[in-house]
Amino acid sequence: MNVFYMMSMTMQIGLPCYYGNEVTLKSYALTNAIYSSNWYSMKQSNRNSVQMFLVRTNKPFAATAFRYFNFNLPAFTTVKCILNMAYSVYCVLQRKAKNV
């Protein structure tokens, strides 16, 4: 029963972190694609628009939780380590309770 609970909690945390990481990677790819385009041969007004867009995409988009932490794979591994530690403490306490 506990294993299924831990798996469902891992999925609830893991999926937003995975897709948040994908959004950030796509944001980096968008910046590179815009810069690699043929923007220098456009009209001046379009070049200004592209330049403003490049300035905006310098800071990559990241999905956040209440501006507290980013949903990405490093955040998931941190949360997963904390969950593993909490589960280990829980198991130790369960064994102690059975031995008493």
Q: Along the chain (100 residues), what's the average pLDDT of each consecutive run of 10 residues?
A: 78 86 90 86 90 86 80 81 81 84
pLDDT of residue 43: 92
Identify the burial level of 72 via C-beta atoms within 10 angstroms of its C-beta, where 0-12 means exposed, 13-18 middle and 19 or more buried.
Answer: buried
CA distances from 89 to 62, 79, 83 (A): 33, 15, 10
